[in-house]
Amino acid sequence: MKNPQDLPKLSLGLFPTPCYPLEGVSARYGRDIWIKRDDLCGVALGGSKVRKLEYLLAEAQNGGCDTVFTTGSAQSNHAMLTAVCAARLGMRCVLFLKKRGITEPRGNLTLDRLYGAEIRFMDTDQYSYIYDQMLALDEELSAQGHKCCAIPVGGSTPLGTVGCVACAEEIAAQCDSVGHMVCAVGTGGTAAGLLLGAKCYLPGARVTGVSVYPDSFEDIVPQLAEDTAALLDASLVRTEGDFRVVSRIGDGYAVPNPADTPYIEELARLEGILLDPVYTGKAWAGMLELLKAGAFPGDGSIVFVHTGGAAALFALDLPGSGAPAA
């Protein structure tokens, strides 16, 4: 198998990110719980998407692209991180964002502008329509002599997912008792990278993806892990129980769950760590509810992968926040 580090990549973030035990939370829940701080990767407000972008933008640069397109929700973390990375590389960045949810200049939209991205709001629910629009702009700009690269939603291609395999490699070097890894699932690349990374570096460790978007990740994630393995000249050998998806969408994508707020506040107050109500807050709450239900077999540590997303705290309200801890 090829080492993920041997594929062409840029160095955009500060990796490895820290990974350490959460003593207050572990004591409260009676299980060894660790956190992998991809939110501290040193780019904007951080996030695992930077791992994907190190590979995707290397490919774009090596291909001579001067312009990068990507898409996502109006408050997309991936879009914001693409904007900052493109700016640092001197590339023009065009964001095709769904005109849904918070479209005022708050949260990530404030940062998109700060990083100089051009924003095109798309009044649609369909990514297929958005990809057609990207293609049209690509043709227009190509005719003017530019070269464009279109990164799909979430950067969850096999090449982007290679970056998340490296996250599991780091965890293996940082924590010697990993039983489970848990992450939020929005487009599937992070979970797919962890699944493949577990096979390579943490045999026996299981991956739980907490989904925040209504797609069939039970199929998408293993398929993406398999396609990523092929890129690394490896194959994904599945074992029973190595991956599961639990849904924590609640009332919808990017709609905060009132039931998550106490968990978000608990982590903030016990450990000083910020979670967002769209991805990591849902994933963290989902993980703790599974733990309370006895759904993490074995006694190995549970490693929660903090994938970033704090900008959402400055765009969305946490329902019921402010109450004193019980």
Ligand X SMILES: Cc1ncc(COP(=O)(O)O)c(C=O)c1O
Chain residues in the site for ligand X (CB under 6 A): 47, 77-78, 154, 156, 184-191, 279-280, 307-309
Per-residue CA distances from 227 to 188, 291, 295, 326 (Å): 13, 31, 29, 46
**Which CB, 154 or 179, lies closer to ligand X?**
154
* Residue 167 CB-density burial (10 A; 0-12 exposed, 13-18 middle, 19+ buried): buried
Q: Which residues lie across from 207 on neighbouring strands?
A: 181, 243
CB 67 within 8 A of CB 271: no
C-beta closer to ligand X: residue 261 or 307: 307
| Whole-angstrom distance, CA of residue 151 vs CA of residue 163 | 15
Q: Supply the DSSP string of 176-201, one letter for each residue.
A: S-EEEEEEEESSSHHHHHHHHHHHHH
Tokens representing 115 are 């990083």
Residue nearest to ligand X as judged by C-beta position: 186
- The dihedrals phi and psi of 67, each to the nearest 5 degrees, come to -135, 140
Q: What angle do CA 308, 198, 236 make, to 5 degrees?
A: 115
**Shortest reach from residue 185's CB to ligand X, in Å:** 4
The distance of closest approach from Cβ of residue 324 to ligand X in the complex, given in angstroms and rounded to an integer, is 28
- Nearest residue (CB) to ligand X, 42 versus 298: 42
16 prior amide bond cis, ω within 30: yes
47 by DSSP, 3-state: which? strand
Under 8 Å between Cβ of 32 and 302: yes
Question: Which residue of the set 26, 48, 73, 76 is catalytic?
Answer: 76
Question: In the complex, what is the shortest distance from the CB of residue 13 to ligand X, in angstroms, rounded to a whole number?
Answer: 14
From the CB of 77, what's the least distance to ligand X, in Å? 3
76 is a catalytic site residue? yes
Q: CA neighbours within 13 Å on the CB side: how many for 62? A: 10
How far is 160 from 54, CA to CA, in rounded Å?
A: 8
Residue number, 137 or 162, with CB nearest to ligand X: 162
Residue nearer to ligand X on the CB measure, 137 or 307: 307
**126/177 with CB nearer ligand X:** 126
Least distance in Å: CB of 165 to ligand X? 12
Which H or E element spans position 156? none
Distance, CA of 14 to CA of 193 (rounded, Å): 19
Min dist. Cβ of residue 294 to ligand X (A): 26
Which pair of structure tokens corresponds to residue 168?
């599991």
Give the catalytic positions in this structure.
76
